[in-house]
Amino acid sequence: MKILSVVGARPNFVKMAPLARQFEKKGFTHVLVHTGQHYDYNMSNVFFKDLDLPNPDKHLGVGSGTHGVQTGRMMAELEKELLEESPDLTLVVGDVNSTLAAAIASVKLGIPVAHVEAGYRSFDMHMPEEINRVLVDRISQLLFAPTENAVLNLMNESMRRESIHFVGNIMIEALLGNIEKAEDSQILKNLELAKGEYFVATIHRPHNVQKENLKLILEMLSDAPLPVVFPAHPRTREAISRYGLDDVMTEQIMIIKALGYLDFIALLSSAAGVMTDSGGVQEEALVLKIPCLTLRETTERIETVRAGANRLCGLDREKVRTGLREALENQWRFEIPLFWDNRVSERIADVIEQEDFSIPGHSML
């Protein structure tokens, strides 16, 4: 069995780490391709180191660009790799442009595609990630769903039932496997922080880094009842400078460079709460039992809301203010969904092992 896996952005690296280890246990031939979608060290290399993820077999170095330009470059380069490697299966994770490019390039060549995190839906087609999710699921042969709700979404979209496999949340397997290592992080000491005496913020969605929205978010962070540690995504930091918003930030905001995986988990796990527009952080906060305020109107991680651990605030100043106050008052629930455990990669590998990719037409949907 030869699997070609494609990663390109920070969340992909986290999800790929347990899968790579499981594929090695199974004796699969595994080719790891990094598109280069995230090329900053703190967005890429440091994650490979933190997660003990093997260095990529191929690095395409695509870099940044508009969605169309970036995705097109990736498809052209990935097609070359797929023709050279001729894998039995292409495996993609998440919802970034690398995921879409790899899925399209593979299915055009008749190579089956497995999508890890299939079925997540925010039902907001203004989000580039939502477009990627819908398209990748539609053309994938194996759909590995992280939640029961994701299974229902796929069934409601008339996906073949035999293609859908409820395996659980791979992001959580990675988190559970690295919590002890994160305890050795010196990030709190280096930043002179005490457990429970600060909030964390992560902002990177295109909608939230537009000038007026970003200005409002910075004002809300400045009004928080505790200091806010803000590891800034390169896109966000550039937007703050471009729009001249440095003056909006008060001393209440501690803006720092983007962190590696272990440092971020250590920072998040000791926070009083988190304000974010990231899907993965919503899930990590639930498992770490950290109150989460999502600065979006919708979320594809609906289980975190149902569990009582996450509140959708959008950019409503009063909702954020209330949520931060209630975070300090411990008015939250944290119910862990089914299969958010340390056996997700094992379930995925077992399904792949049982598939017979030699059957003619197997890759057809």
pLDDT in tens, 50-84: 999 988 999 998 877 788 888 999 999 999 999 99
Nearest-Å Rg of the Cα atoms of the chain is 20
For the cut 70, the answer to whether the pLDDT of residue 149 exceeds it is yes
C-alpha to C-alpha distance for 31 and 22, rounded to whole angstroms: 13
Residue 237, Cα to own-chain centre: how many angstroms? 20
Q: pLDDT-based confidence at 233, cuts 50/70/90?
A: confident
> Which pLDDT does position 300 carry in this prediction?
97
For the cut 60, the answer to whether the pLDDT of residue 270 exceeds it is yes
pLDDT top residue among 343 and 67: 343
> Which pLDDT does position 365 carry in this prediction?
43
Average pLDDT, the chain: 93
Q: pLDDT-based confidence at 359, cuts 50/70/90?
A: low
> Which pLDDT does position 38 carry in this prediction?
62
C-alpha to C-alpha distance for 253 and 251, rounded to whole angstroms: 5
- Structure tokens, 60: 């395409």
Smallest Cα–Cα separation from 312: which of 330, 297, 322, 327? 297
pLDDT top residue among 10 and 353: 353
Give the model confidence (pLDDT) of 273-328 as tens digits. Answer: 999 999 999 999 999 999 999 999 999 999 999 999 999 999 999 999 999 999 99
First to last CA, the chain: 21
pLDDT top residue among 41 and 139: 139
Predicted TM-score (pTM) of the model is 0.94
Q: pLDDT-based confidence at 9, cuts 50/70/90?
A: confident
Catalytic residue, chosen from 204, 207, 233, 362, is: 204
For the cut 70, the answer to whether the pLDDT of residue 358 exceeds it is no
Residue 204 bears catalytic tag: yes
Q: Is 362 exposed, middle or buried (0-12, 13-18, 19+ CB in 10 A)?
A: middle
Give the model confidence (pLDDT) of 21-38 as tens digits. Answer: 999 999 999 999 999 876
The whole-number average pLDDT for the span 220-225 is 96
Give the model confidence (pLDDT) of 183-215 as tens digits. Answer: 999 999 999 999 999 999 999 988 999 999 999
> Which pLDDT does position 123 carry in this prediction?
96
pLDDT top residue among 39 and 202: 202
Helix, strand, coil percentages, rounded to 5, for the chain: 45, 15, 40
Q: Is 352 exposed, middle or buried (0-12, 13-18, 19+ CB in 10 A)?
A: buried
Domains of the chain: 2-177+342-354 (3.40.50.2000), 180-328 (3.40.50.2000)
Give the model confidence (pLDDT) of 80-124 as tens digits. Answer: 999 999 999 999 999 999 999 999 999 999 999 999 999 999 999
The whole-number average pLDDT for the span 219-230 is 97
Give the model confidence (pLDDT) of 122-137 as tens digits. Answer: 999 999 999 999 999 9
Q: pLDDT-based confidence at 360, cuts 50/70/90?
A: very low
C-alpha to C-alpha distance for 30 and 352, rounded to whole angstroms: 13
> Which pLDDT does position 24 carry in this prediction?
97
